[in-house]
Amino acid sequence: VCTQQEPLPCKSLPKTLLFQLLGLSIATLSTVTHYGLHFTLISNISLDGNSYRVIHYRAFYFGICLSMTLILAALLSSAATVRESQCLTAMGFFCFALAFCGLIPAACWRYTHSTEVEDSMMDVYDFVYEEVRRNTSSFRRHELADIHKAFLCCGKHSPFGDKTNIEHKTCPPGQVRDAGQDCLQKIQDFLKKHMDFIFSFLGITIGFMVYGMILTSFLWFSIHFSSNLDRKGKYTLR
């Protein structure tokens, strides 16, 4: 229970709880992205030469490691606040700095490779579509139908005359060919919105990492110089 004699933990513990919630949010977002229908479908279909499967798994593991690092930093900061431990405070600062150093390259990669994920997903659809066009394999036709059903699209703009036959066999039942949306455009729009959301979330997380490093630095100096609001030596007998 927080009392007037314990002002520092009362003010710091809610902030560390915020960092724990942020870490759980990152873990949830990574899990949803990794196991979501649209992403797992493309990942299972993609070939070894396509870069999407590698990006798919790396993004998941990066998100999980980031969330664990952030939760650990929040727990260490909480323990350091309660026990007034310089060692725990330094470890918390190190975890925040480690997460910050991981987020900056991730944000830079998203900026410099802004279309790589979109292009790799569209390449998967192009490959499956052309395989169905050249061959009547039921396996590839089933994969193409799954993509159409997941993204609610139908075919793509193509100069080949057998496009209508492909659409009739693989588009969702009841979907009119003229009303079907181009799958390449649909995939690009879907992934662009998702990546923009993740990029915005990364920016917010970077801001919190800077705040966490400043908070733990202030806590370390406060403990080091014994100036934590004149609390030392004050006790209440109950």
Length of the chain: 238
- How far apart are alpha carbons 197 and 84 in whole angstroms? 38
Both structure tokens of 24:
């759980």
In which residue are the tokens 């060692």 written?
Answer: 87
This prediction's pTM: 0.79
pLDDT at residue 4, rounded to an integer: 40
Both structure tokens of 124:
């998967």
The answer to whether the beta carbons of residues 87 and 211 sit under 8 Å apart is no
pLDDT at residue 24, rounded to an integer: 92
- Label residue 15 left, alpha or beta by phi (over 0 means left) and psi (-120 to 50 means alpha): alpha
- How far apart are alpha carbons 150 and 129 in whole angstroms? 15
Which class for 6: exposed (0-12), middle (13-18), buried (19 or more C-beta within 10 A)?
Answer: middle
pLDDT at residue 47, rounded to an integer: 80
CB neighbours of residue 1 within 10 Å: 4
- pLDDT average per 10 residues of sequence, the chain (238 residues): 44 69 92 91 84 90 94 88 84 92 89 84 90 78 89 74 64 59 86 89 91 87 63 50
CB neighbours of residue 233 within 10 Å: 6
Both structure tokens of 143:
């994969």
Helices 138-151 and 163-170 sit at what angle, rounded to 10 degrees? 70
CB neighbours of residue 96 within 10 Å: 28
Residue ranges of alpha helices (H) inside the chain are: 7-35, 37-45, 52-83, 86-112, 116-134, 138-151, 163-170, 183-224
